[in-house]
Amino acid sequence: MIYKYFSTDELKCQHCGAEGMDDSFMVKVEALREELRFPFVVTSGYRCKDHPIEAKKSKPGSHPSGRAIDIAVKGEAAYKLLDAAIRIGMTGIGVNQKGATRFIHLDDLEWESGRPRPWIWSY
């Protein structure tokens, strides 16, 4: 699928270069971007299971599903993104708003054992 606001390169696995974003998830992300009218800088999109961040986990996180994205954002834009993400139905929201690498994680996964949804957390 070709996206209006995102390139394949910025969404692919930074470890192996594989593509794997879920199209239905990206429809939601594109709708957020359209509504908010500010650029989304992707810090992490799809991750293969061998990606160093995923390999450290006992169970793969949400990124290998292709239904998760991390967006660099801070301040008022972060607040607006959080508000819109909840309204559009994102079920997993991780917030890192301290230090130099501020971002918000978004996913739309369903509840499963060990991964309750809806859920919000901080890093």
Q: How far apart are CA 123 and CA 118, in angstroms?
A: 17
* Alpha-carbon distances of 89 from 17, 98, 100, 109, 119, rounded to whole Å: 28, 25, 28, 10, 11
Q: How far apart are CA 55 and CA 51, in angstroms?
A: 6
Task: List CB contacts of 35: < 8 A, sequence separation 6 or more.
Answer: 84
> Is 3.30.1380 the CATH classification of the domain at 8-122?
yes
Q: How far apart are CA 69 and CA 42, in angstroms?
A: 7
Percent of the chain with pLDDT over 90: 91
Amino acid identity of 46? Y
Q: How far apart are CA 109 and CA 116, in angstroms?
A: 9
User: Would you kindly state where each structural domain of the chain is located, as residue ranges?
Assistant: 8-122
Q: Which two tokens stand for residue 2?
A: 């070709």
Q: How far apart are CA 73 and CA 96, in angstroms?
A: 9
Average pLDDT over residues 79-84: 98
Task: Report whether the peptide linkage leading into residue 116 is cis, meaning its omega lies within 30 degrees of zero.
Answer: no
User: How confident is the model at residue 58, as a pLDDT?
Assistant: 85
- Residue 106, phi then psi, degrees to nearest 5: -130, 140
Q: How confident is the model at residue 109 (pLDDT cuts 50, 70, 90)?
A: very high
pTM across the whole model: 0.95
